Amino acid sequence: MQATIVMYHYVRPIKNSRFPGIKGLEASDFEEQVSYFKKHNAIVSLNDVYDAIYSGGALHPNALLLTFDDGYLDHYQYALPVLEKHKIKGCFYPPLCAVRERKMLSVNKIHFILSSAPAAEIAAFINQEIDKTGKPSARYLANLDLSSRFDTKEVIYVKRMLQRELPEDFREKLITQLFARYVSQDEKAFAEQLYLSEAQIKEMKSLGHHIGSHGSRHYWLSRLTSDEQRKDIAQTKDFLMGLGEQILSFCYPYGDYNDDTLNILKEFNFSIGLSTKLGAADLKGNPLTLARFDTNDFPKDKNAPAPR
């Protein structure tokens, strides 16, 4: 038994915006894609998937679930009206620190930096700063896997270096400098315009959409100790329980987790986990490691031919 789970991030007007280079889905294309899915799939809710996994509920052979990562205001402004128009229920995964503290996620700062300056220029700055420490930057370039389905090698290099390869304090310093130089010197004000508010999340929940956990601070979970993971996940569980969620689901930041993560989620009664592994979700396998597709894996034209 399988289901198609589709992953979205930015859904917004992009071409004529301040950040035309941001990697996301044009808002107009989202409605086209939803209409395409309605023609060729049975769009289901998380409750339907849960029932199929845990209660033997029947699920359409072409069942499809829509999921939205990172808690962007885009999801309220542009995705929600389309879902409501088509009477579809989506699943939304906001990181708690972005909602409650208006803290910019490093991953988002990197996105907007890359949208505002050439990747080669950013990479040169990173290498220059590394070289100042006396550790040659060339050793990183030689050891990194720079392959990607969607990004150039230069973009992947910048992402890898700023997301995980450099020591945390050093990379956060570089990200802060680059964000102030190319994007904004007021991170909190930028965050206010980027992320969902708690009130908006509660409204979405009241309309029947599912709210799940995307971590408290959007960490690479496998790089944390078991106790650090437990603390981060516990905070988000408290938030979800406060919203009245009956089914607890978790979407792994960066698609990253380890055995500690899975054990903690079981301990906290999370029933469903969403990864970034590419493919159809095997509902007879481990429900905490369900695979997903990206929005770019599907047509953005309601009149596109049916999949073969």
**Distance in angstroms (rounded) separating the CA atoms of residues 171 and 269:** 34
* Contact (CB, 8 A) for 36 and 299: yes
CA 27/CA 31 separation, integer angstroms: 7
Residue type, 125: F
User: For residues 15 and 295, is the Cβ–Cβ distance under 8 A?
Assistant: no
DSSP 224-255: S-HHHHHHHHHHHHHHHHHHT-SS-EEE-GGG
Is domain 2-102+195-297 in CATH 3.20.20.370, yes or no?
yes
Could you tell me the end-to-end alpha-carbon distance of the chain, in angstroms, rounded to an integer? 19
Helix (H) or strand (E) holding 125: helix 119-132
Contacts by 275-278, CB closer than 8 A, 24 or more apart: 276/7, 276/252
Contact 226, 105 (CB under 8 A): no
DSSP β-bridge partners for residue 11? 25
Q: Which residue pairs from 79-83 have beta carbons closer than 8 angstroms and sit at least 24 positions apart in sequence?
A: 79/8, 79/11, 79/30, 80/204, 80/207, 80/209, 82/30, 82/31, 82/34, 83/34, 83/209
Show me where the domains of the chain are located: 2-102+195-297, 106-189
Nearest to residue 3, comparing CAs of 281, 307, 306, 296? 281
218 and 97 Cβ atoms separated by less than 8 Å:
yes
The pTM is what? Answer: 0.93
Angle, CA of 262, 104 and 123, to the nearest 5°:
95
Write out the chain's pLDDT in tens, 308 residues. Answer: 899 999 999 999 999 899 999 999 999 999 999 999 999 999 999 999 999 999 988 899 999 999 999 999 999 999 999 999 999 999 999 999 999 999 999 999 999 999 999 999 999 999 999 989 887 776 666 666 666 677 788 898 899 889 988 999 999 999 999 999 999 999 999 999 999 999 999 999 999 999 999 999 999 999 999 999 999 999 999 999 999 999 999 999 999 999 999 999 999 999 999 999 999 999 999 999 999 999 999 999 999 988 77
Two tokens at 183? Answer: 């994007």
